[in-house]
Amino acid sequence: MPENAPISKKTAEHISAALYSLLVSVARSMPRDLSRTGVATLSRLEQSGPQRITRLAELEGVTQPTMTTLLDKLAHMGLVERHPDESDGRATLISLSRFGKSYLSQRQQIGTERIADLVSRLPSEQIQLLADALTSLTSLSQAAALLLAVDTSTSQSIQGGK
């Protein structure tokens, strides 16, 4: 199939629905020791580096008091650390702790193992088809990460670089 060959809308919807269903199933099977917002906040810090509380609240779609409460819990668990913002002495930056990085790595490992278990249950022909699609799946994953980064930086520049 030629690069960027058009596919039918129905085929695109079927692919999207299958991937979405897989993501939801894996997300539901993950340990529930933290809220989804808590895990998303840790992931955001891992991807974007230290952030101000107000910025994290904006990015995760919660109020500043809600984010402050969440960060207090994450700090108590040793997953994040607070540091003074050198560019503004009144502000605090939140960063992922060493333990927070380890925690996220463990969650990723659990998710990876669960997906590997599901894949291993498929007939060998379907596993080979997935292997053949690995380049496409990797590109899709990279595009999603890039889109998240662009959305984050666009939002930040629109907000005046808070």
Question: What CATH number should be reported for the domain holding residue 65?
Answer: 1.10.10.10
15 within a domain of the structure (yes/no): no
Residues 98 and 148 placed together within one structural domain of the fold: no
65 within a domain of the structure (yes/no): yes
Residues 68 and 39 placed together within one structural domain of the fold: yes
- What is the structure's pLDDT at 21? 94
In degrees to the nearest 10, what's the CA dihedral of 90, 72, 94, 151?
A: -110
Residues 50 and 61 placed together within one structural domain of the fold: yes
Our count of domains for the chain comes to 2
Residues 39 and 106 placed together within one structural domain of the fold: yes
Which own/partner contact pairs does 11-15 have at CB distance under 8 Å and 24+ positions apart? none
- What is the structure's pLDDT at 133? 93
Rounded percentage of the chain residues whose pLDDT exceeds 90: 70
- What is the structure's pLDDT at 157? 46
- What is the structure's pLDDT at 149? 67
Q: Whole-angstrom distance between the N-terminal and C-terminal Cα of the chain?
A: 45
Residues 46 and 64 placed together within one structural domain of the fold: yes
Please state, in angstroms and rounded to a whole number, the distance separating the CA atoms of residues 11 and 17.
10
Confidence class for position 145, pLDDT limits 50, 70, 90: confident
- Look at residue 84 and tell me whether its pLDDT is greater than 70: yes
List the domain range (segments joined by +) for residue 99.
Answer: 31-121
Q: What is the pLDDT of residues 25-79, one digit of tens each?
A: 998 989 899 999 999 999 999 988 999 999 999 999 999 999 999 999 999 999 9
